[in-house]
Amino acid sequence: MVIIPNFVVFEGGDGSGTSTQMDLLRRRAGPFLYCTAEPTEGPVGKLIREALGGKVSLGAETLARLFSADRQEHLYGSGGIVEHCGRGTLVVCDRYVLSSLVYQGITCGQSAFGEDLPLLLNRDFPGPELLFFFDLDPDIAAKRLEARAEKEIYEYRDFQVSVRQRYRELLPRYSGEGVRTVTIDASQSPEKVGEAVWNELQKLPILLKNA
């Protein structure tokens, strides 16, 4: 797998705190850091958000294709990930290919096309240098999600149990392809998780260079 240097990804089930950690990181951010997320704020990402919120109904395969189209633009479009990383900026992205392999792997696996579709749609995308997996018991995650006003289509317990299981299955395969993966115990306080993330980030060549 081709790896993009300076590219870091946050992964985990819903309610595992990836977005909270992104906010914490943004506050610590220096000029070398660019925080971003998938689905993006672009036109394809907006359509995905509508589908996630249940405002539009789309088939599992359609959604899988939209996620990869959104990713294509996010990576290679103007002002995208590749451009930022190439300039020597550290890019941290909330969710990436592994989210598609996990979530769309489950939903497409239950339909005619099968779970190979997300693999096929994502096989040519480069990998990140470092991937954090925020590991959390789905029952704790469900408690955290209760506080949210709007529920998305994947935010129910049984689905999240499969999500966690699939992340755990796929992570070793992913790290075997040259991506450094770090599993974080996401049941800790946001501050503790933030420290663990920050300490790992400091080991990246780009931060060692700019320290």
- Contact in structure between 81 and 11 (CB atoms under 8 Å): no
Q: How far apart are CA 84 and CA 81, in angstroms?
A: 5
Nearer to ligand TYD, 11 or 129 (CB): 11
DSSP β-ladder status, 127-135 and 90-94: unpaired
- Give the residue, chosen from 21, 36, 99, 162, that forms a contact with ligand TYD under the rule CB under 6 A: 99
Asked if residue 154 binds ligand TYD (CB under 6 A), the reply is: yes
- Give the residue, chosen from 34, 67, 125, 174, that forms a contact with ligand TYD under the rule CB under 6 A: 67
- Give the residue, chosen from 4, 52, 91, 136, that forms a contact with ligand TYD under the rule CB under 6 A: 52
Residue with the CB atom nearest ligand TYD in the bound state: 103
Asked if residue 115 binds ligand TYD (CB under 6 A), the reply is: no
- Give the residue, chosen from 100, 131, 167, 184, that forms a contact with ligand TYD under the rule CB under 6 A: 100
Q: How far apart are CA 163 and CA 175, in angstroms?
A: 18
Cβ within 8 Å of residue 106, ≥6 positions away: 115, 159, 162, 163, 166
Q: How far apart are CA 102 and CA 80, in angstroms?
A: 24
- Contact in structure between 134 and 17 (CB atoms under 8 Å): yes
Q: Which of 180, 174, 142, 173 is nearest to 158 (CA)?
A: 142
In whole angstroms, the minimum distance from the beta carbon of 127 to ligand TYD comes to 14
The one segment of 25-33, 94-102, 175-183, 203-211 that binds ligand TYD by CB under 6 A: 94-102
Q: What residue ranges bind ligand TYD (CB under 6 A)?
A: 14, 19, 37-39, 52, 67, 94-95, 99-100, 103-104, 152, 154
